[in-house]
A and B are shown apart, each in its own frame.
Chain A
Amino acid sequence: MVVDDEHDVADIYTLWLERAGWEVRKAYSVPEARDLFDATVDVVLLDRNMPEVTGDEFLRELRAENADCRVAMVTAVDPDFDIVEMGFDEYVTKPVAREDLVATADELHSRSSYSRAMREFYAAVSKLSALESELPPEALEANETYRALREEANRLRAVADESVLTVGFSDGFQDLARLSKEAGEQ
């Protein structure tokens, strides 16, 4: 999703991303973005200074709702100490070149995909662990649902193992910082 009150800017970002294979939702204001946003949005490219409601405010809303998406602030505002507490994933200063914008979106999508893969893998393994701590191995092996869950966990592990390769080591740790903070808040 591209959110920018400058129509020309939002239009050109949308064009660049669509040419790179992205499906893009475009909003010229935060109220419009609120209407267009749902759980299928993976990445938000968000301007900071917008009339009526700022990008900073929309970012706070997304984080408060624990929206499962990655957010890049794409803005002419030079970073200052106020960004320390902001919950974005990338900060891109305008003007931004086409290849940089697409690379940012691609990188955030990889992190988002990895995050989802790990969450699903962890959920499956947690269920298995709960069963395995309560029931004897022979009862587990005789149960079709359990065997299917094990197969699913193996499949999800393979997906997570593959997607972590596209994220890389340092970005993997960047995401952990946010996950850790969210866990602390919960």
Chain B
Amino acid sequence: MNAATPPDRLVGDGIATHVPEATALLGSDRSLLYEAVEEGVVGFGPSHLLVVSTGAETAPGWASRVENVFTVDTEAYVRIEDGDTTLDFVAMGFDLSAKLELLGEHAETSLLVVDDLSTLVERTDVQVVYRFLHVLVAQARRMGLRGVYALDAGLLDARTCTTLCWLFDSVMRVERDSEGGLQTIAIESHGL
């Protein structure tokens, strides 16, 4: 992926050729999802990248090739009160808002990657995650910023996946083909 490639220069060869504003990527493990983004499933090489990470790594390895990378580590906002784990959405919202503002002028060539939703669902109530994503997707749309939202289907049940997928403009399943290459398949919300 080359930095700052304009969004109309799409990657072919079995990879998606149209990129809606908010895309859910559904794969059986995180490495497959990382690879899909790296291979160009998003359709262009971003000049700026905002990674909302919910895992130990705050940005995937390939992000080092993007010139401007910003991260929001949701783990930093985990609070444990009376034995219950919650996320401090207000503090995280401030952080996200500030980082999104940094992308503002470059929205057309920027990319938002949320990696991944499955870990968020494990951290808090699915309805809360739903609201969080709806607000985030709306803000990204308002800015004209493309977003890729990774869903590790190995960690979530089919019902939760289907429910979450309603939030996005499109859903793509990422699979390994018989020759070891990546295959992306656009799917309807049912039949996940």
Contacts and interface: CB of A to CB of B under 8 A. Distances in A.
B102 interface: no
Contacts, number: 101
Nearest to A164: B138
Interface in A112-143: 118, 121-122, 125-126, 128-130, 132-133, 137, 140
A161 B138 contact: yes
Contacts of A137: 188, 190-191
Interface string A151-181: 0010001001100110101101111110111
B132 A176 contact: yes
Nearest to A172: B135
B78 to A, nearest CB: 11
Contact of A170 (B86, B93, B190): B93
B82 to A, nearest CB: 9
A122 B130 contact: yes
Interface string B173-192: 00000000000000011111
B135 A181 contact: no
Q: How large is the interface on A (under 10, 10 to 19, 20 to 34, 35 or more residues)?
A: 20 to 34
Contacts of B76: none
A184 interface: yes
A165 B94 CA distance: 18
By DSSP majority rule, is chain B's interface helix, strand, loop, or mixed? helix
Contact of A173 (B90, B125, B162, B191): B90
Contacts of A175: 131
Given A118-B130, A164-B135, A176-B131, A153 B90 contact: no
A31 B98 CA distance: 44
Contacts of B131: 118, 172, 175-176, 179
A180 B162 contact: no
A183 interface: yes
Interface of A: 118, 121-122, 125-126, 128-130, 132-133, 137, 140, 153, 157, 160-161, 164-165, 167, 169-170, 172-177, 179-181, 183-184
Given A129-B159, A169-B97, 15 more contacts: A122-B127, A125-B163, A130-B159, A132-B162, A132-B190, A133-B158, A133-B159, A137-B188, A164-B135, A169-B135, A173-B92, A177-B88, A179-B125, A180-B125, A183-B125
Interface of B: 81, 84, 86-90, 92-94, 96-97, 100, 124-125, 127-128, 130-132, 134-135, 138-139, 142, 157-160, 162-163, 166, 188-192
> What 5 pairs between A and B have smallest CB-CB spacing?
A173-B93, A183-B125, A172-B135, A176-B89, A132-B190
